Structure 1
Amino acid sequence: IMYVCHSQCECSRQKILVPLNGLLNIVVFYGSQTGTGEEFANRLSKDAQRYGMKGMAADPEEYDMCELSRLAEIDNSLAIFCMATYGEGDPTDNAQDFYDWLQESDGELNGVNYTVFALGNKTYEHYNAMGAYVDKRLEELGAKRVFDLGMGDDDGNLEEDFVTWREQFWPAMCEHFGVEASGEDSSIRQYELKEHNDINMNKVYTGEFGCLKSFETQKPPFDAKNPFLAPVIVNRKLNKAGNRHLMHLERDVTLSIYESGDHVAVYPTNDTAIVNKLGQILGVDLDTVISLNNLDEESNKKHPFPCPTTYRTALTHYLDIIHPPRTNVLYELAQYATDPKDQENMRKMASSAPEGKALYQSFVLEDNRNILAILEDLPSLRPPIDHLCELMPRLQARYYSIASSSKVHPNSIHICAVLVEYTTKTGRLTKGVATTWLKNKLVADNGHKSTVPMYIRKSQFRLPFKASNPVIMVGPGTGIAPFMGFIQERGWLKEQGKEVGETVLYFGCRHKNEDYLYQEDLEEAEKTGVITKLNVAFSRDQEQKVYVQHLLRTNKEDLWRQIHTDNAHIYICGDARNMARDVQTAFYEIAEELGGMTRTQATDYIKKLMTKGRYSQDVWS
């Protein structure tokens, strides 16, 4: 009854509507920006088979959600929504149309059974806003909630939250539908392996995300399903000293357009050495051309990643082999461990028993073991590589705040990033996938231009419409990125003869002589009057640590005038867990002291600024 969009390739926008027959009981819709919501949806749809039901994971972007009401016509049907919240309480890109439909719909969903699992992060202002909205709105439209809203917190242990919710959800569903679990311990394969021994290599995917050869044709519109290759034109180290590596990259985006405050999504590749080690440890020829084909012919997801391709391409471009695997992967792979103790421990880690949770927390999460480390430390575990590839989540794009203005640099975007590198408790050196890959992107590599697959993601992080409004920017470390674009744009506006309000920056770093990013540019901007006041906190240049929030309190009178009298817009960029919270608290205190407010009134005052779009955050955790 639901209508699914089948397409020849992932980047196709052509909609061919095919009715799914009444065998389908469960549709798991996902709103996913970084892949976790999709991963959870796949796990729930796979679970359905264990209960004698037929389930499928579905991208709401590919469906006519007006047909949701027709699920009521199928006996024992259920719509599950795994909905992530992105940014400041926003839907993910693929759930935007669904969100708009929910807001505008006055449709009747009577007889539709549903439940929602929300994915979010408590450090963000709008924790699980999208999941909570979907849960509330579906009920308002007449649908029946058959299980309580699940709340997943990525600042805590999202996997544990999901597993706990899932283990309570399925028994409740069995009771609701009057069914029993069957074959709980058996592994269910979704895809079957086909090896291609004689294939035209022009028909083999080599890292494209959309249509075959899409990187050669480069046809817009460019988005998550159709990125373009941007040549790297600058790659330089930003910091003067210290043991960290901070970098500034510029890329040619003649093919695309952007605005100050937007994000760029970058698709990295995995470390060749790790890919080769996986091939060696599993004893396979990584250059074998394969397809993994869905065993369910009616599914709209024909392959877990673009096929046909090679194991090498899949492990390099398509699969996340660096993050510690989730519990379902351990559960599925346990059957291949020949040591009974290894098998027992892997199954235990996938359970919701306190002992199992503790073992997963210590062995996998705290020790930061990726799939290669697990295979190295459990020598009895040697799964077939095709099953491993089926279970691994997709390698996701990394989002960076753009550090340039399109008014000044219309054909290039700038980003700044810090190389992620640390030693785990097991003594292994772990490197960030994207930052390591970006660091090695030379401007010219053997005479060829280095390129980066990417697309521009529009943001709400925008300068005020009226240039005469003051702006207050707070961005320590690489949180300076969007403000480099803002400063360039305010300078350009001044050159055009526009009246530009005060432009105040609060930047923070560890040491003035080490990691004062863009020092020359910022000091020059202050000298020419583009920046009205440059405030820099050096946290470790003196005995007493000084952070940006301390400087805010020092300048409280000016800040209160700018905010309360002059209609200033406030922008925060950087760490959500500590910095953004501490900065927000500083603004509460300033409103209390200089506005003569109680803490409750001060909190409401700042929240009202957020609602009006005068307090914006571009934060991460």
Structure 2
Amino acid sequence: MVADPEEFDMNDLAQLPAEIDDHLAIFCMATYGEGDPTDNAAEFYQMLIDQELDLSNLNFCVFALGNKTYEHYNATGRYVNKRLIELGAKCIHPMGEGDDDANMEDDFITWKDEMWPKVCEFFGLDATGQDINMRQYSLTELTNPDPNKTFTGEITRLKSHLPDKQRPPFDAKNPFMSRVLVNRELHKGGGRNCLHIELDITDSKIRYDAGDHVAVYSCNNPELVEGLCSMLGKDPDTVFMLTNLDEFSSKRSPFPCPCSYRTALSHYVDITSPPRTHVLKEFIQYASDEKDREQLVLMTSTTDEGRAAYQEWVVKSARTVSHVLEDLPSCRPPLDYLCELLPRLQARYYSISSSPKEHPSSVHVTAVVLQYETLTKRINKGVATNWLMARQPTQDQQYTVPIFVRKSQFRLPIKSEVPVVMIGPGTGIAPFRGFLQERDVAFKRGMFSPRLTYCNISY
């Protein structure tokens, strides 16, 4: 089994060997922030710290995901691997490490190709099998869908975005629909936009500290959604379902279903990131032109030439899935399969640029709007910042944004008299604005709070 901490009761790990003789638990553990586990792994991670489980009969492997530019590179995966061994579990293959600053997918493929022969040897299996393309979900298109049972962008529960359905606590699975109070452009002229946004958290029971992050669920550009549907010959308003072929799986569908193709591509599917090699590999069977097929085969190979071709043609050229299909015109995979293959559209995290001591009922965001020209002369736009920029409240038009707050370890010293030097070397002033507000409040209360801020500002 592949163990997802969010889908399984990890306390059952000790019972797994008794239930499945030839078992293998594979943990893919990502690290973020100051060496912290991701939200869906936090409970499992804490359980490993707190409990002394007997895992002497558990077989496992770990692949850690991180970024070498951060101080605590792959700290979560390394701890999980070490702790499982301490609890008696048997590591079938050495832990793999993926570096997102290089090519994490290549790191995983290299580790996987070395891991499976070891696994087969351990279980006495033949390791000479061939790759088989198998779909995980079956498609059903609904002719008369019930609007009351059709998702329109909710993260989990139907109609959870409606005001009368909002219930705390608010988190990644239950975001708060925050009203946009202020959306102001900070740059007067120049070649780029920078936004100051204030989000209302009144009556939400959301609490935050200066230095925390606010997560925003945004939507893909409607023009990109329409273009992809048109290219693949689908009516964007057709309602469909993807149902897991494994009836015992706890994950019934890759995202909330049923929904329309428009909803799936707008709210649930990442259509703007460069597609990974495993996605391109699935495209091969749908390319009717020999040259298009050869290009896909090359880019999905594990040779140095293939990796270089993928980096140059996809990554460096910042091609999205739409760009790939535009430039390989004979390749037309089914849209529902594309929805299955592509990753989920993730929340975007922003450093909160306010202090609750000065703004207890609102969260502030300071963000540069991403837009750039690619090597193919296309214009790519950041998903969330461009979506937020369009949400300009007026007297006649109000907007809401799905948000939740993620705690951070980035904090001011507890004692306000401790001097602080804040340096933003081109990485943004957002969290320091919140810290400055904290110190201003302390100063107004008669506390001496020396601070000095350096930042790199573009004009």
Q: TM-score range by the shorter chain?
A: over 0.9
> Matches of 1:315 and 1:240 in 2, distance apart?
34
Number of the residue aligned with 1:165: 111
Q: Is the 8 A contact 1:444 1:450 kept in 2?
A: no
CA distance in 1, matches of 2:113, 2:292: 23
Tell me, in whole angstroms, the C-alpha distance in 2 between the residues paired with 1:69 and 1:154: 32
- The answer on 1:285 being equivalent to 2:235 is yes
2-structure distance, mates of 1:182, 1:332: 21
**d(CA) in 1 for partners of 2:191 and 2:153?**
33
Match for residue 287 of structure 2? 337
Check whether the contact 1:471–1:502 (CA below 8 A) recurs between aligned residues.
yes
8 Å CA contact retained: 1:72, 1:110: no
1:228 to 158, 169, 176: 176
Residue matched to 2:194: 246
What does residue 303 of structure 1 align with? 253
> Is the CA contact (8 Å cut-off) linking 2:443 and 2:449 kept in structure 1?
no
Is the 1:71–1:78 contact (alpha carbons within 8 Å) kept by the matching residues of 2? Answer: no
Q: Are 1:501 and 2:449 matched, yes or no?
A: yes
The corresponding residue for 1:401 is 351
User: 1:613 matched to which residue of 2?
Assistant: none
1:405-463 CA-to-partner distances (Å, cap 9, x unmatched) read 11111111111111111111111111111111111111138x23111111111111222
> After superposition, what is the alpha-carbon deviation per residue over 1:381-416, rounded to whole angstroms, capped at 9, x for unaligned?
011111111101000000000001111111111111
Q: 2:391 aligns with which of 419, 431, 441?
A: 441
- What does residue range 253-402 of structure 1 map to in structure 2 within 5 Å? 253-254=201-202, 255=204, 256-402=206-352
State TM-score, norm by structure 1: 0.71
- Counterpart mapping for 1:521-540 below 5 A: none
Aligned equivalents of 2:338 and 2:138: distance in 1? 12
What are the equivalent positions in structure 2 for 1:478-557 lying under 5 Å apart? 479-497=428-446, 499-510=447-458, 514=459
Cross-structure match for 1:71: 16
Distance 2:6 2:218 in 1: 24
Q: Distance in 2 between matches of 1:186 and 1:153?
A: 27
In 2, Cα distance between equivalents of 1:63 and 1:374: 36
Supply the AA of the counterpart residue of 2:14: S
Moved more, 500-509 or 372-381: 500-509
Aligned counterparts of 2:97 and 2:129: Cα–Cα separation in 1 = 28
Which structure has more relative contact order (CA 8 Å, sep 6+)? It is 2
Q: How far, CA to CA, are the matches of 1:183 and 1:329 in structure 2? A: 21
Q: Distance in 2 between matches of 1:383 and 1:335?
A: 8
Aligned pairs for 1:423-442 within 5 A: 423-442=373-392
Counterparts of 2:393 and 2:271, CA distance in 1: 27
Residue 349 of structure 1: CA displacement? Answer: 2.1
- CA shift, 1:94, in A, is 1.4
One of 155, 173, 187 as aligned partner of 1:209:
155
> C-alpha distance in 2, partners of 1:184/1:283?
32
CA distance in 1, matches of 2:9, 2:229: 42
Q: Deviations over 1:238-294 (max 9, x none)?
A: 123421211111111112222211100001110111111101111111100111000
**Structure number with bigger Rg:** 1
Q: Which residue of 128, 137, 146 corresponds with 2:92?
A: 146
Residue 145 (structure 2) aligns with? 199
Determine if the alignment matches structure 1 residue 86 to structure 2 residue 32. Answer: yes
Q: Could you list the per-position Cα deviations for residues 142-172 of structure 1 after superposition, in whole angstroms to 9, with x for gaps in the alignment?
A: 1111111111111111111111111221222
Q: CA deviation at 1:71?
A: 2.2
Q: 1:268 is paired with a residue of what secondary structure?
A: coil
For residue 429 of structure 2, give the secondary structure of its aligned residue in structure 1: helix
Q: Which amino acid aligns with 1:435?
A: T
Give the corresponding residue for 2:408: 459
TM-fit CA distance, 1:493: 2.0
CA offsets 1:193-213 (integer angstroms, 9 cap, x no match): 111111221211101102000
Q: Deviations over 1:83-116 (max 9, x none)?
A: 1111011111111111111112222111211111
How far residue 181 of structure 1 moved from its aligned partner, in angstroms, is 5.4
- Residue of 41, 47, 55 corresponding to 1:101: 47
Q: Deviations over 1:462-489 (max 9, x none)?
A: 2222222222211244521111111112
* 1:132 aligned residue: 78
Is 1:112 the counterpart of 2:61? The answer is no
Task: Please state how far the C-alpha of 1:182 moved relative to its aligned partner.
Answer: 7.7
Secondary structure of the corresponding residue to residue 114 of structure 2 = helix
Query: How many matched pairs?
Result: 454
Q: Mind listing any 5+ residue stretches in structure 2 that lack a counterpart? A: none
Summarize deviations over 1:491-519 as a string: whole Å, max 9, x none: 1122233x233222122223xxx2xxxxx
Task: Compare the two structures and name the one with the higher helix fraction.
Answer: 1
Shift of 1:61: 3.5
Letter in 2 for 1:281: M
Cα distance in 1 between the residues matched to 2:26 and 2:67:
20
Q: Whole-Å Cα distance in 2 between the matches of residues 142 and 194 of structure 1? A: 45
Over the aligned positions, Cα root-mean-square deviation in angstroms equals: 1.6
For residues 148 and 197 of structure 1, what CA distance do their matches in structure 2 show? 50
Partners of 1:247 and 1:417 within 8 A in 2: yes
1:552-563 equivalences in 2 (<5 Å): none
The amino acid that maps onto 1:300 is S
Instruction: Determine if contact 1:417/1:478 at 8 Å carries over to the other structure.
Output: no
Give the drift of 1:62. 4.2
Q: Which residue of 2 aligns with 1:592?
A: none
CA deviation profile, 1:494-552 (whole Å, cap 9, x unmatched): 2233x233222122223xxx2xxxxxxxxxxxxxxxxxxxxxxxxxxxxxxxxxxxxxx
TM-superposed CA distance for 1:218, in Å, is 1.3
Identity among equivalent pairs (%) = 55
Counterpart code for 1:246:
C
Q: Structure 1 segments of 4 or more deviating over 4 A?
A: none
**Counterpart amino acid of 1:63?**
F
Over residues 352-381 of structure 1, what are the superposed CA-to-partner deviations in whole Å (9 max), with x where a residue is unaligned? 122221221111111111110011011110
Q: In structure 2, the residue corresponding to 1:374 is in which secondary structure?
A: helix
- Cα distance change of structure 1 residues 380 and 185 upon mapping to structure 2, 3 Å threshold: farther
Work out the CA distance in 2 between the residues paired with 1:163 and 1:111: 27
